[in-house]
Every structure is written in C-alpha cells, then in structure tokens.
C-alpha cells in the first residue's frame, strides 16, 4: 500500500491507539463488572470486536497493495463484519443500560419492542447481503445454487451506479443511532444507587458518541460507494494513485472519529461506572483510564512512526521495550506520589487523639472529634455541607457535628425507620428534609447502627467516588466510636470519684451512727434492764436502735445477683419493688406481655444485672422524689415489659411531680445510662413537670438460653 509518509504515520497512530483503548475498555468492563451478566458480555464483546477490527486495519495499512478481485472479495466482506454488527451492538447495549430488560423498564420496552425485532432482522439481512456481495460469479456455484443467484444479482444491482447494500447501510446506522438516542432520552427507572445522577451526567457523552457513530456510518458508506464507482476495472477493483490517497483521507477521518468515540465512552465509563454496575465511580479507575490514553497515544505515535518510516523490525521491538519500561517507571513514580498524597489526607484520622489528656483535662471529651470530621469534609470529600449524627446507644455520649460548624443538625428518626439494616454503602435522601443533604451514609459498629453521615453536593458538582465514601464511612465510624469511648471513660472516671467520695461519706456516717447513736441506745437499754427499770423504756430504746440500723442497711446497695440467677429477671424485679419501694406508692401496676420472661432468659448475666440495677435506680428516684403534694391524685407506678425478636424493653412510668431537674438523683441516672450503653443497651428519660416521668430501658437480647 503506497500512501504519503505523514498520512501513513497518522493512520497507523490512530489505528494502534484505537486497538489499545478498545481492548483495554473491553477487558476492564468484563473484569470490573459488579455482576457479569449478558449485557456486560455484549458490551465487553463489542469493545473487543472493535479492537480486532483495528488490528486487521493496521495489518491492511502495512500491506503491499490493495487490489481486490472477485475471488477474494469475500474476505473483504468478512472483514467488514464489525462495521455491520457494531451499530446494532451499540443499540442493544444502550437498551440494556437504560433498563429495557429489567422490571423497571416497562414503558421503554413498550416503545422499543418492535424496533428491536426490526433492527435484528435488518442486521441478519444486511450480514447475509454482505457475505453474498463477496461471492464470486463461479459457474459451479451458479449451477449448485440456482435459486440464490437471482437474489444475489438483486442485491448487487446498482441504483444510479450505487449497490443497494451501500444505500441501505447508512439508513441502518441512522436507525440504530436514532433508537439509541431515544433510549437515552427516556430511560427506564434505574435500580442502581446514584444511577439517575450518573445517567444524567453521562448523557451528553453518550449522545455525542452516538452522533459521531452515525457520522462514521455515513463516511463508511460514502467511501464504499466512492471506491466501487471509481476503482472498478472490468471484473476487478483496483486501488492505486490518487484513488488510494482519497481513500486514505477518508480512512483518517473515520479513524479519528472512532478515536473520539472511544475516548468519550471511556470517559463516561470510568467517571460514572456506566456499564460495570458499581454504585459509585472509583477514583483509581479514572486514573488508570488517563494512563491508558497516554500509553495508547505514545505507543501509537512511536511504533506508527517506526512502521511508516520502514525501519527494521528490531527497531520497533526496541522502541516498544523502551516505551514499556519508561511507562512502568512513570507508573511506579505516580503510584508513590499518590500514596504520599493519600497519607497526607489520612493523617488527621490516624493520628493520636490524645485521649489520655482528654480524660484528665478536657471538660467534655465528646467535643474532641471536630478536627478529624472537618478534615474529612474539607480535604477528602470536598463537600459543601455535612452532618455527623450518632444513633442508638452512642447518641447519649456523642455530640452531633456539622460542617460548616454553625449549621444545625436535622433529625434522622424517619431515616432510621427505613430499615437501615438493608442500606448499602450510600442512600439518596430528600435534601428538603435534611438541610440540603443529598446522600446518607450509614455507620455501623459491633452492636449495629451507630449513626448517619449526611453529605450534601460536592464542590464543582462532581460525584463522590467509592474510595472517598468508604473513607468517609470508616472515619465517621471511628469518630463516633472514639467519642463514645472517651465520653464513657470520662464519665466512669468521674462517677468513680463520686462513688469513692460517697462510699467514704457513707462509711463515716455508718461509723458515726453506730458509735454515736446506736451503741449509746443499746448501752442505755442494757443499763435500764440491769437497774430494774420498766421494760417498756428499754424496749423503746432498742426499737430506736433497730430503726437506725434499718435506715443504714436501706442506704447500702443490696446483693441481688443471686435472686436474678435463682428467680429470673422479671420475678427478681417484682420482689425488689414489693420489698423495698411498694409502700412509697399508692399502687403498682405490672404490664408484662406473654413470653417476656422466656425472652429475658436470653440475656447474658451482665446484661440482666445491668438492667436490674438501672430499673431499681429509676424506681428509687420515683419513690424518693416523685410523690405529688398533699391532696393530689393517687401516686401510681406502672412497669411495662415488651420483648421483640432482638431486644427487651422495660418502661417505668409514674404520675408524680416529674423531674424538673435531672440532677435530682442525676448521678445514679448518669451511671446507669453509661452502664447500659456499655452492655449494648440504652436508657432514655422524658418528664413533664407536675404530670409524669417516663423512662425506657432497651437491652438487646443475646443467644443465651436458660438451662
């Protein structure tokens, strides 16, 4: 084949460029797919088929001549197979991507069902025509297939000197492109997370690629018609001289358009994960795509130039080895630079939080995590707004955070009710209901859902990548765990100090009461009895001593663990309330659902003991502080117990004066809410002054079965 040096170099460069990129896209689509369905297979196969076409195209460019006789026209027709098949493949792939074969593509399926069958028939007919077009006029074949030959002559019959197949091809391409554009304009409902956003942002890329493919089809038909009408000499098609130069220019333009289509598809696929089915685009895939473009362009230019100049093959091999080595070295360097950048981004999250100093000096350990959270929002996510909101047991110990700091956090109760156990990595939410946030990232711990990270739009209107969301999720979980652990530790240390002080005071009071009050009463009673005084005086003195000792014993914590083990949780609670606090109330009502006692047996000993003492503290507070003033309605205590499939709920409610200030008995409530959280449960109290106090204890049920 004889073309000018620059034209040959440009053609070889584009041909090698398309070969490498199409093959890269085909392999990446197949191996990076979420699920390898038939749609993925067709998409990857289309890319690989295009790559194979450009392999033959490169070989054809380096051939010595382009003289086709009737005997070898069949091979030209077979080589044109990708040109015929790829428009149909493009239409099928976009139908699959738009949801034609899913349950959500009903309207799309209604619009395109007939067109799918029509394009399939046209493809089969065109492919048969393409093969028949290459069958030479051999007398033996004409005698063996007398019925086929009239059809063959009709297919080859020209209209104004142009074969019918050359007229039908651009119409076929136009049909596939028009149908593809309709599927893009009105797709079905996507089942993929962030699928609508990805479709909307990738639509301009796909529309442009479709239009360029139509231009390619028109140019292919044009060059085919021009070649047939200008190169036929008798029974041969001879290409040489100026004819070859014109075909080469057409070929250069077509190859350039195909390269543009390849770049558009690769950009849409890597930036929005169009065909792989991933929920989020991956930052690494975008970087690899850019490197693949650089490799294909560099390799195409160097090797294309070497082949166009006619260098010996050894020089082409040496250039290839040099280019591969240089590219690998640059790739290693870039990987190290990216690793350093990632470490700089992650340093605020893996650095020490100075928890020891926080526990000893900070007034509130819950506020120590604002630095990592703001670094996450500004450096990693580059988001306009974000909210880190704890949930579950952690909510009592972690302060919600916002970015920017002056924004109030929206309530997430309705979001938590939407079965968060089935939520994926990220969920779309209504921005009007959540202060402009677009996405919710559930945060998990060993005991279930620990919070939600709500993020708004990204600066620059970009999409969050999968790596960024995974970092945000891990960071949010670590922030909540660290803040909860710090708050729990600090609260336990503070309560331990208070308990030590209380123990010392109680010990001193016990000693004082025994020494100053009880012992003198007993001694006086003994003296009275020995002096022969009336026994009623001694009896009164002993009664006073007994009362003082009873008061001391009541203030001491009771040893009830044996009762829980021996009787079970609910009977132990009944015994405790009736023995210690029933006289403080006018009535005590128990509302225990069926099966609660059996479910309570699944609690671990630690969880049961924690629940017991928390209930005792709540009942004690109600008995001590809750009684209304004289003349009010009767003072009632209601204890309810409910058990679901995974948790036990105890509700302690009274109609007393309410807790105007939780500091009344607040040390006990703080201690038991902390212990409940450590055991995996929660304690919440709500009060209406002068009306009622309602406390709810929730403890997850384990797998322990009573023996």
Residues 463 and 487 reside in one and the same domain: yes
- Does pLDDT of 537 surpass 70? no
* Helix-strand-coil split of the chain, %, nearest 5: 65, 10, 25
* Domain's final residue, options 537, 556, 575: 556
Residues 549 and 570 reside in one and the same domain: no
Q: What is the pLDDT of residues 75-120, one digit of tens each?
A: 455 556 777 788 888 888 888 878 787 765 577 888 888 888 888 8
Q: Tell me the average pLDDT of the chain.
A: 76
- Helix H or strand E segment including 480: helix 466-513
Worst-scoring range by mean pLDDT, 161-175, 353-367, 591-605?
353-367
Residues 445 and 543 reside in one and the same domain: yes
3-state secondary structure 239-271: ECHHHHHHHHHHHHHHHHHHHHHHHHHHHHHHH
Highest mean pLDDT among 209-223, 512-526, 535-549, 654-668: 209-223
What long-range pairs does 456-462 form, CB within 8 A, spacing at least 24? 456/383, 456/384, 456/385, 456/386, 456/431, 457/383, 457/384, 458/381, 458/382, 458/383, 458/384, 459/382, 459/383, 459/384, 460/382
Residues 187 and 130 reside in one and the same domain: yes
Q: Which domain holds residue 598?
A: 559-700
* Domain's final residue, options 503, 521, 556: 556
Q: What is the pLDDT of residues 629-656, one digit of tens each?
A: 765 678 889 999 988 768 889 999 998 8
Residues 483 and 543 reside in one and the same domain: yes
Residues 83 and 185 reside in one and the same domain: yes
- pLDDT above 90: percentage of residues in the chain: 4
Residues 455 and 429 reside in one and the same domain: yes
- Enter the tokens of residue 166: 């050359």
Residues 122 and 80 reside in one and the same domain: yes
Residues 476 and 587 reside in one and the same domain: no
Residues 535 and 613 reside in one and the same domain: no
Residues 654 and 523 reside in one and the same domain: no
pLDDT of residue 325: 83
User: Half-sphere exposure (CA, 13 Å, Cβ side) for 275?
Assistant: 31
Query: Would residue 39 count as lying in a domain?
Result: no
pLDDT of residue 320: 80
Contact in structure between 245 and 7 (CB atoms under 8 Å): yes
Taking residue 436's Cβ as centre, other Cβ atoms within 10 Å add up to 15
Worst-scoring range by mean pLDDT, 524-538, 620-634, 656-670?
656-670
Query: Would residue 426 count as lying in a domain?
Result: yes
- Enter the tokens of residue 686: 């709500």
57-74 mean pLDDT: 58
Contact in structure between 586 and 634 (CB atoms under 8 Å): yes
Q: Which residue has the higher pLDDT, 174 or 633?
A: 174
Q: What is the pLDDT of residues 453-482, one digit of tens each?
A: 999 888 766 777 777 788 888 888 888 888
Contact in structure between 178 and 213 (CB atoms under 8 Å): no
CA distance 303 to 284: 28
Query: Would residue 343 count as lying in a domain?
Result: no
470-482 as b/e: b if 16+ CB within 10 A: ebbbebbbbbbbb
Worst-scoring range by mean pLDDT, 12-16, 39-43, 151-155?
151-155
Give which of 97, 82, 122 is closest to 38, Cα–Cα.
97
* Domain's final residue, options 221, 239, 264: 221
Q: Which residues pair with 653 in a beta bridge?
A: 638, 694
378-399 mean pLDDT: 82
């Amino acid at each position: 084949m004889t073309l000018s040096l620059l034209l040959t170099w440009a053609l070889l460069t584009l041909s090698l460029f398309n070969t490498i990129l199409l093959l890269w896209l085909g392999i990446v689509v197949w191996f990076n797919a979420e699920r390898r369905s038939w749609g993925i297979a067709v998409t990857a196969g289309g890319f690989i088929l295009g790559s194979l076409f450009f392999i033959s195209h490169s070989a054809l460019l380096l051939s010595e001549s382009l003289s086709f006789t009737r005997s070898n026209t069949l091979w030209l027709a077979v080589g044109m197979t990708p040109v015929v098949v790829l428009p149909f493949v493009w239409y099928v792939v976009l139908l699959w991507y738009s949801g034609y074969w899913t349950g959500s593509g009903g309207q799309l399926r209604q619009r395109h069902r007939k067109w799918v069958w029509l394009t399939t028939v046209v493809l089969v007919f065109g492919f048969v025509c393409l093969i028949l077009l290459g069958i030479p006029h051999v007398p033996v074949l004409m005698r063996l297939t007398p019925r086929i030959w009239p059809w063959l002559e009709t297919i080859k019959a020209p209209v104004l000197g142009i074969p019918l197949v050359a007229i039908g091809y651009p119409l076929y391409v136009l049909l596939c492109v028009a149908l593809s554009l309709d599927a893009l304009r009105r797709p079905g409902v996507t089942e993929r997370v962030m699928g609508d956003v990805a479709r909307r942002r990738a639509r301009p890329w796909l529309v442009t690629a479709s239009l360029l493919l139509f231009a390619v089809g028109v140019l292919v038909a044009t060059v085919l018609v021009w070649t047939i009408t200008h190169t036929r000499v008798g029974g041969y098609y001879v290409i040489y001289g100026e004819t070859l130069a014109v075909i080469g220019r057409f070929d250069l333009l077509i190859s350039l358009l195909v390269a543009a289509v390849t770049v558009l598809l690769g950009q849409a696929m890597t930036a929005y994960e169009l065909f792989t089915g991933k929920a989020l685009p991956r930052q690494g895939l975008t970087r690899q795509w850019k490197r693949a473009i650089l490799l294909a362009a560099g390799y195409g230019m160097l090797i294309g130039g070497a082949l166009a100049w006619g260098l010996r093959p050894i020089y082409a091999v040496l250039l290839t080895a040099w280019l591969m080595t240089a590219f690998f070295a640059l790739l290693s360097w870039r990987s190290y630079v990216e690793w350093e950048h990632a470490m700089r981004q992650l340093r605020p999250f893996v650095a020490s939080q100075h928890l020891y100093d926080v526990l000893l000096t900070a007034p509130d350990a819950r506020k120590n995590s604002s630095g990592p959270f703001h670094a996450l929002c500004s450096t990693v996510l580059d988001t306009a707004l974000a909210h880190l909101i704890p949930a579950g047991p952690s909510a009592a110990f972690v302060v919600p955070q916002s970015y920017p700091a002056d924004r109030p956090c929206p309530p997430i109760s309705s979001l938590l009710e939407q079965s968060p156990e089935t939520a994926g990595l990220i969920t779309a939410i209504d921005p009007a209901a959540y202060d402009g946030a677009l996405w919710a990232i559930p945060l998990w711990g060993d005991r279930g859902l620990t919070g939600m990270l709500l993020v708004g739009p990204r600066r620059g209107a970009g999409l969050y990548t999968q790596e960024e969301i995974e970092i945000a999720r891990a960071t949010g979980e670590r922030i909540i765990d660290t803040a909860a652990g710090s708050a729990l530790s600090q609260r336990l240390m503070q309560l331990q100090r208070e308990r030590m002080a209380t123990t010392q005071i109680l010990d001193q009071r016990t000693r004082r009461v025994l020494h100053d009050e009880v012992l003198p009463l007993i001694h006086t009673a003994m003296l009275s009895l020995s002096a022969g005084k009336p026994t009623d005086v001694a009896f009164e003195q002993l009664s006073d001593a007994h009362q003082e000792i009873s008061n001391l014993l009541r203030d001491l914590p009771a040893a009830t663990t044996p009762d829980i083990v021996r009787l079970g949780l609910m009977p132990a609670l009944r015994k405790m309330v009736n023995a210690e606090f029933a006289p403080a109330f006018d009535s005590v009502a128990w509302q225990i659902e069926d099966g609660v006692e059996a479910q309570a047996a699944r609690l671990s000993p630690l969880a049961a003991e924690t629940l017991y003492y928390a209930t005792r503290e709540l009942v004690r507070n109600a008995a001590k502080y809750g009684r209304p003033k004289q003349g009010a309605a009767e003072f009632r205590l209601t204890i309810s117990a409910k058990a679901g499939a995974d948790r036990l709920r105890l509700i302690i409610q009274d109609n007393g004066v309410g807790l105007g200030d939780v500091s009344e008995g607040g040390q006990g409530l703080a201690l038991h809410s902390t212990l409940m959280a450590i055991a995996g449960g929660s304690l919440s109290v709500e009060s209406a002054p002068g009306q009622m106090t309602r406390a709810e204890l929730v403890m997850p049920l384990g797998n322990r079965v009573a023996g």
